[in-house]
Structure 1
Amino acid sequence: MVFVSLVASHSDVDLETVARLSAGASEVASGALDGTGPVSGAVVLATCNRYEVYAEARSEEDIEATRSTVISEIAELSGLDEQVVSSALTTLTGKDAVNHLFAVGAGLDSAVIGEREIAGQVRRALIEAQESGTASGPLVRLFQTASRTAKDVGSRTALGGRGLSIVSVALDLAEDLRDDAWAEKNVVVFGTGAYAGATMSLLQQRHAGNVFVYSNSGRASAFVATRGGTALTDETLADALRDADVVIGCSGGDHKLTAGDLAETGRGDAPLVAIDLALTRDFDVSLEELEHVDVVTLESVRMAAPAEQAAALEEAREIVLTAADEFAAEQRERSADAAIVALRKHTQRVLETEVERVRAQHGCTAAAEEVEFAMRRMMRQLLHEPTVRARELAAQGRSDEVETALSNLFGISTADVAAANKKAPRQKPQAAPAPAPAAMPDDAVHARHRTA
């Protein structure tokens, strides 16, 4: 099993490309899983400034096939050429993929370093994958550990205390452009998704009193029922836009607000701040050409985000790297568990064959029971040292040597180990079988059988 991540984010490609890749994002994971291909699990993380697919390849030999499968699905759903998709995505494997996800979840790879929203988006990506049945066991553990790491960074470093987010920086920019108090502003919010929810929460913290919400999907009424504000309809939207001081785009819908739309409301040249937080842009570029409209985009937020203190950032990165190392060690131990289970199954089959021969020859006699007891005790003793050594080698990253030894000495194939890996329960490192107790005296053995 190998983790493979394909990444396109604000730091590597333009946001328009990220948006185009994200088309059909919810269907990529299920499309990549056909039950027989190289991909055994997938989770998609799509946010306002990144698009990332985390897949589980069945083996290292399947990495390239996994990458090709995912790229083909993205190309088909987005309508982009496969070569365009391939060039836009950076491929990370193994520990590099783990490190990246942990850093992303902790907000260390965000436009606003230490932002809070991304941790929730990582959790939701996993939940959606679990609901659709595309999240394999290793991917579930990977994303759950990323979420715990994000909590550690938030609670143990200064990054968590600043409370910065993409939305908060955008609202700060709006305050710089128009210094009126939020209580005096009329605000129109487009969308009812996660960013719209975060926006409503921050507007409440800033005591915004006149907030209106519009959704072309008709969910505005249900949205404001739990978050406050006033729901808008197609009939009331124009009046709200005419009186608006700030409009905030969080929907990424098909219709973009244009300069012509504003003109039709009759608002004239009244000053307006338009904050566009949607990846696919809610506001048409024609708004940027209006002198009385100030447009704040995700790129504006990225450039305006304050630099973090070096000490806090270094501490956060250390937490992320330590968590990634511990996760990698745990994964290596899991591979040893699978090999141990495969070895135990092999020896158990041999043991049961011999036990049946004894029973067939001697029946259910005390002598037969004594022989069976001795054989099982000997098997435990024989397996103890290989179990300990297998875990030691796995901790050193030498699981392949364990599998090679099993193949050469017992004829146990990598397919047998892989099958055991699917069924093997997680075993704690200290749970290795203890050496068998010293043999009971013969009199004690006979006494046990006589009293049974």
Structure 2
Amino acid sequence: MLLCLTASHRTHDFATLEQLTGGTGPELVETLLAGDGIAGNIVLSTCNRFEIYLDADSSALDAVQRCRGPLRLLRGEEAARHLFAVTAGLESVVIGEPEIAGQVRRALNHGERTGSATPLLQRVFSDALATRRAVRESTGLGAARPSLIRLALDLASHRITDWTGVKVLLVGTGRYATACLEALRDRGVSAITVWSPSGRGQEFCARHGLHAVSGHAVAAAASLSDVIVCCTTSPELVITPELFAGTCPVTAHSAAQCPVGHPGTDERHRVVIDLGLPRNVDPLVSEVAGIELLDLEAIKLHAPLQHLAVADDAEALVRRAAAAHAEDAGPIGPAVAALRAHVSDALEAELARVRRRYDADSADKAEAALRHFAGVLLHGPSVRARELASSGRRDEFLDGLHAVFGIERPA
């Protein structure tokens, strides 16, 4: 059966989510996998949620219940419906935000690379991604590119009236940093400096035409910035009050223009945006004179209400698509699994050939494209199989599998 253990911004506070992403979550995964009856798993960990999807038999259910910790347990169609809603952006802080679909796809790809994604998990994740595309095409949800960083910049606009003159320190160089950079440039920001706590800033900056700082230069860059955006995956606090404790370096700015407040001068207000989970910014930073901190909790309080009609239409699509997973352990499940195994075997053979003929980077790109194509290809037959089974026409699907692919009827 499909199981989902979930904690998100809708059901848990951010302190609990921070603990899960910071260490207790991976430990919980290890505990679960040490038990019997767990065939596979995929972990979805983002700035607003920590979720474990399991392919488990009924013998594992009691053990999962006992050691699930603070996570809620969903099973079967309810678990599928939840994943589909998450992937469509219906469970996000900003309804319809597009980043979550990429995070779901990367979680699936990781499970496939490591071998933890069983056919059942591959099927439900592929169907979730296909449903997300259907939701976007049918309702337009997600087409406007709402996201946490864009909402945070909207909130910061009560302090900043002209973004074209703003100096920004971007902390982080991962995938989300790219989304943050895009959102900043859309507002006309050009003076962007990058700090990578992991030391990988040079490659990111070369790719995007930016300047990187490190070491002692970080404090100087922070003192000259009007906005600091933190989106690094570092488990440690990287922005602390100590970063702002020194005086401003000698620059062309006058004392009154110095971003850090000093006695006898006018304070210049600035904004620190923390998109990290675990958090990147020490909450005590908000006590530094002239600094406003926008963290995930503050951003969530100001998240706009979704367009109700669009969300209702999207949720209806999600419910219909998830219904196909109501009886994954039923009579049609093994036949669908056999089809997916058939395609998976052909895919792995082709990937082996690709890796023999091409360099590692080209092979990785080809693998991502081929795995995506395989998921899209299998989505239709998977849904059709359940439709036929529910209308009493299971034998038609089984006969078709044998006639077209030579797949024998599952026992």
Q: TM-score range by the shorter chain?
A: 0.7 to 0.9
* Residue 431 of structure 1, aligned match among 377, 400, 404: 400
Deviations 1:34-91 (A, max 9, x none): 5x72100000000001000001102x2322224446x4xxxxxxxxxxxxxx2x2100
* Alignment correspondent of 1:175: 157
2:90 partner amino acid: L
1:395 aligns to 2:364 (yes or no): no
Cα deviation, residue 154, structure 1:
1.7
Q: What is the CA–CA distance in structure 2 between the aligned matches of 1:432 and 1:224, rounded to whole Å? A: 51
Cα deviation, residue 262, structure 1:
0.7
Cα deviation, residue 392, structure 1:
9.8
1:153 is paired with a residue of what secondary structure?
helix
* Residue 259 of structure 1, aligned match among 224, 228, 241: 241
* Residue 301 of structure 2, aligned match among 282, 300, 303: 303
**Aligned residue runs from structure 1 range 34-433, under 5 A:** 37-58=36-57, 60-68=58-66, 71=68, 86=69, 88-181=70-163, 183-253=164-234, 254-266=236-248, 267-269=259-261, 270-328=268-326, 332=330, 334-335=332-333, 337=335, 395=390, 428=397, 431=400
Deviations 1:188-231 (A, max 9, x none): 11112232121012112222111111112111111122233221
Task: Using structure 1 for the length normalisation, give the TM-score.
Answer: 0.68
Q: What is the CA–CA distance in structure 1 between the aligned matches of 2:337 and 2:195, rounded to whole Å? A: 57
Q: What is the CA–CA distance in structure 1 between the aligned matches of 2:226 and 2:100, rounded to whole Å? A: 28
1:56 is paired with a residue of what secondary structure?
strand
* Alignment correspondent of 1:407: none
Q: What is the CA–CA distance in structure 2 between the aligned matches of 1:20 and 1:147, rounded to whole Å? A: 28
Identity fraction in percent: 35
In structure 1, the gaps of 5 or more residues are: 72-85, 342-389, 400-426, 435-452
Task: Using structure 2 for the length normalisation, give the TM-score.
Answer: 0.75
Change (3 A) 1:21 1:248: same
Aligned length: 339
Q: What is the CA–CA distance in structure 1 between the aligned matches of 2:281 and 2:388, rounded to whole Å? A: 57
1:8 is paired with a residue of what secondary structure?
strand
2:173 partner amino acid: T
Q: What is the CA–CA distance in structure 2 between the aligned matches of 1:187 and 1:261, rounded to whole Å? A: 15
Change (3 A) 1:201 1:339: closer
Change (3 A) 1:149 1:331: farther
Change (3 A) 1:428 1:167: farther
RMSD: 3.0
Q: What is the CA–CA distance in structure 1 between the aligned matches of 2:319 and 2:147, rounded to whole Å? A: 23
Deviations 1:131-168 (A, max 9, x none): 22211111011111111111111222132232211111
Q: What is the CA–CA distance in structure 2 between the aligned matches of 1:15 and 1:30, rounded to whole Å? A: 23
**Do 1:241 and 1:265's aligned partners in 2 also have CA atoms closer than 8 Å?**
no
Change (3 A) 1:391 1:309: closer
**Do 2:231 and 2:276's aligned partners in 1 also have CA atoms closer than 8 Å?**
yes
Q: Which has the larger radius of gyration?
A: 1
Q: What is the CA–CA distance in structure 2 between the aligned matches of 1:261 and 1:340, rounded to whole Å? A: 57
**Do 2:76 and 2:327's aligned partners in 1 also have CA atoms closer than 8 Å?**
no
